[in-house]
Structure 1
Amino acid sequence: MSKLPSRVFTRRRLVQSGVAVAAVVPFLPKSLAAQQRQVVIYNWDSYIDPGSIPDFERQTGIRVRYDLFASNAELFGRLRAGNPGYDVIFPTNDWVARMIAADMLAPLDHGRLSNLGNIGAKFMDAPHDPERAFSVPYFWGTTGIGYRKSVVGQTPESWSTLFTDPTHAGRIALLNSDDTIYAALKYLGYSLNTTNQSELDEAVELLIAAKPRIRTFAPDNGEDLLLAGEVDLCLEYNGDILQVMEEDDDLSYVVPQEGGLLWEDDMCIARGAPNVEEAHEFIDYILDAENAARIAEYILYPTPNEAALALLPEEILNNPAIYPSEATMAKLEYARYQGEDVAKMYDDALTRVLAA
């Protein structure tokens, strides 16, 4: 894979940049907001290139406030009691469905999104949001194993490397989210959308048995632990590992043979957003082919923007860690929202693992 040009900001160090500085700027007083257009973004940590926010502000005159969340549960919890002032938010596909069911999203006006046609047709009729009434795809990806090649040796082809193999005890990080439950289910040969309580119990038992060998259940910073040498293996998102691979060529990423999670993060407008017009302008800016390609080349996640694909280098398009092979894709599953009772089953399963 080619090195990205002048990568001044690494993923987590991006919080030192102007993008994250905006995240600590307080909401504008109503009197000032009336004089200056603004949009308030609530996104995953460092999930954009450092140039897009300043460029959007220059092009539109719209001031951006950029806040960060660390998990879908945090995003959902922050808005469930009422929108505190966010405009554009970035939930994952199953959480989009959950937020639609809870009436937490505002409908999109496709007439205001002139670049919507850049999105590939296969992404437009999404099971979690038919006809894209409430969401537009931002990026997609996989979960798998990030690892240090010089220590692990052979490619960790199975989730057993994390869950049952004692070789790397104390040098493994898992995620403190449902993604860990999903990986355990796939290892056991079950669907990650199972509603069978006994299968979930088996996944919980597997993870509890593995806990003495797990260094930490990380809040989506396993790639930092891997880069720093604190762990040698971690369950993580593909783009996060690919970004630290730019800094350390001893690191790599693989989707295990049992398969894993296929996910999609979407751009949505939160119900009660104070700046709906500006929110549409921001989303349309991201949908522009050149802008989408620039972000994709920086964050190293696969883009659903078909027009942007034509602008990306072959080294990225042909990298199976970014764009998986058909054989790998066949083993992946999207997580589905199946109602609050099923969501509680998974929440309870994770709680049991973390509390054990």
Structure 2
Amino acid sequence: MSTITQRGLNKAGLSRRSLLTATGAAAIGLTFTACGEKPKAAPGAEEAKLNFYNWDTYIGETTLGDFKKATGIDVNMSLFATNDELFAKLKAGNPGFDVVVPSNEFVTRMSQGGLLEPLDHAKIPNMKNIDPSFLNPEFDPGRKFSMPYTWLLLGIGYRKSKVKGVPDSWKWLFDSDQYKGRIALLSESADLVRLSAKYLGHSVNNIPQDMLPKIEQMLIKQKPFVKAFHDDNGQDMLMSGEVDLVLEYNGDIAQAMKEDPDLDFVVPKEGSLINSDTLCIPKGAPRPNNAHAFINYLLDAQAGAEISKTILYPTPNAAAKALMPEDYKNNPVIFPPADVMAKCEYGAFEGAEKASQYEELITRVRAA
């Protein structure tokens, strides 16, 4: 196991992505491996190893070692920082990954681009543990290419002692100078454009062309009041006191709230954007049988519960959720109530041209 332990990462308050920035792992290719002797492959069988490409701080503390004890398969876990990085790596040709963790719209994008292997559901019997509401998503009908790992919801993390009332509208982040210099926005372009559209009364999808200049002008006007566009380490900025309001994922703020009771999280009244991170087998995976076995293991009830205890993201695994303590199952930050979720949507992949348009819009905002 790497000397940088998962426990240490969580105590440091790092998000699923921020470790890469802190350690330079993107440059040095930081890898985590399960402990123990290197197993030997049986004659004619796949080598007893597996290469897992994952977000940082996004696995249980003992998951990789437990999987090795159960199967003899040694897991090498490398880390990526963004879906764009994962996509670019696989588009250039799979360098040997067996399991990857793309977010919802990238499942669509990668499957359409021929970058994913279809899953053999017969080799994933723990699929029975998944909450039925996650079994037929629009981004991957019938779960042909992906299994659900977690889901995430964007909202506003804030410091209660510094903010007057509850910041229950995107206006607080996108259209107000009330907390100038005390705001941090997530840097992902599609998320910013979509949530701005949500604030302006539109769906996060099929945003009309004539709305894009309005979004750009609104964000350019807001930019002088924004302290930073962060790479999903907004909870760190909130905990350190750099900012008082931040656009961030519910799981990241739930982790921070355990350490700092002055923090809270709200989903704005206009609604928000749901993301789902998934388990996929990339095209050309050298060990597809091991990959199916690993995905099946991660969907086990006990294994899933151990992961959720560490990362505190909402789980789509109903059997794992049933094993979790009440302070997880009943936490409204991790599992917002139904009336809140009813106003939230998944972002759809609407083509590379639109993705580029959003990137260019936010590049202009940040350069303004």
Contact 1:180 1:235 in 2 (8 A): no
1:288 aligns with 2:300: yes
Aligned residue in 2 for 1:4: none
Distance 1:323 1:304 in 2: 11
Following the alignment from structure 2 to structure 1, what is the Cα–Cα distance between the partners of residues 124 and 186? 35
CA shift digits 1:30-72 (9 cap, x unpaired): xx99755211111112112211122112222211111112211
The question of 1:311 aligning with 2:311 is answered no
Distance 2:228 2:357 in 1: 23
Q: What corresponds to 1:301 in structure 2?
A: 313
TM-score by length of 2: 0.87
Please show how residues 77-156 of structure 1 align to structure 2 within 5 Å: 77-156=88-167
Per the alignment, in what secondary structure is the counterpart of residue 221 of structure 2? helix
Describe the shift of the 1:13–1:192 C-alpha distance in structure 2 as closer, same or farther (beyond 3 A).
closer
Q: What is the aligned partner in structure 1 of residue 14 from structure 2?
A: 12
Which of 264, 279, 284 matches 1:272? Answer: 284
User: Are residue 261 (structure 1) and residue 273 (structure 2) matched?
Assistant: yes
CA distance in 2, matches of 1:342, 1:211: 23
Q: Which runs of 5+ in 2 are unaligned?
A: 1-6, 42-46
How far apart are the structure 2 equivalents of 1:354 and 1:39? 40
The alpha-carbon deviation at position 293 of structure 1 amounts to 1.5
Task: Tell me if structure 1 keeps the 8 A contact 2:30–2:79.
Answer: no
Q: Percent identity?
A: 47
Q: Select 1:38's aligned residue among 37, 44, 49.
A: 49
**Aligned equivalents of 2:135, 2:150: Cα separation in 1:** 13
Return the match for 1:345 from 333, 357, 363.
Answer: 357
The secondary structure found in structure 2 opposite 1:298 is helix
Letter in 1 for 2:14: R
Partner AA of 2:264 in structure 1 = S
Q: Confirm whether residue 158 of structure 1 aligns to residue 169 of structure 2.
A: yes
Aligned residue identity for 2:354: V
Alpha carbon RMSD of aligned pairs, Å? 2.3
Give the gaps of 5 or more residues in structure 1.
1-6
Give 1:3's aligned residue.
none
Equivalent pair of 2:55/2:101 in contact (CA under 8 Å): yes
Q: In 2, are the aligned partners of 1:123 and 1:304 still within 8 Å (CA)?
A: yes
| 2:280 match: secondary structure | strand
Distance in 2, Cα, partners of 1:93 & 1:204: 25
The one-letter amino acid of 2:290's match is: E
> How far 1:337 moved relative to its partner?
1.2
Cross-structure match for 1:332: 344
Kindly tell me: are residues 102 and 192 of structure 1, through their superposed partners in 2, closer, same or farther at Cα, counting changes over 3 Å? same
- 2:355 maps to a residue whose letter is A
Code of the residue aligned with 1:84 in structure 2: it is P
- Give the AA of the match of 1:114: P
CA deviations on 1:268-317 (whole Å, 9 max, x unpaired) are 01111112111111111110011112212221111111111221222222
Please give the TM-score of this superposition, normalised by the length of structure 1: 0.90
Aligned to 1:180: 192
Alpha-carbon separation, structure 2, partners of 1:95 and 1:77: 11
2 CA distance for matches of 1:341 and 1:301?
Answer: 31
Shifted more, 303-312 versus 240-249: the winner is: 303-312
For 2:225, give the aligned amino acid.
R
Could you say if the C-alpha distance between residues 13 and 333 of structure 1 is closer, same or farther in structure 2, counting changes exceeding 3 Å? closer
Give the corresponding residue for 1:205: 217
Which residue number in structure 2 is paired with residue 217 of structure 1? 229
Deviation for aligned residue 1:210: 0.9
- Compute the displacement of 1:26 (Å): 9.6
Report the CA distance between 1:183 and its aligned residue.
Answer: 1.7
Q: 1:150 to 1:292 in 2, by over 3 A?
A: same
SS class of match (1:215): strand
Structure 1, residues 174-195: CA drift from partner, whole Å, max 9, x if none? 1110222222111111111134
SS for the counterpart of 1:106 is: coil
Q: Which residue of 1 aligns with 2:30?
A: 24
- Matches of 1:125 and 1:261, distance apart in 2: 18
Q: Residue in 2 aligned with 1:236? A: 248
Residues 176, 354 of structure 1: 8 Å contact kept:
no
1:260 Cα deviation from its structure 2 partner? 0.8
**CA displacement at 1:326 relative to structure 2:** 1.4
Cα distance, 1:13–1:223 mapped onto 2, change above 3 Å: closer
Deviation at 1:97, TM superposition (A): 0.4
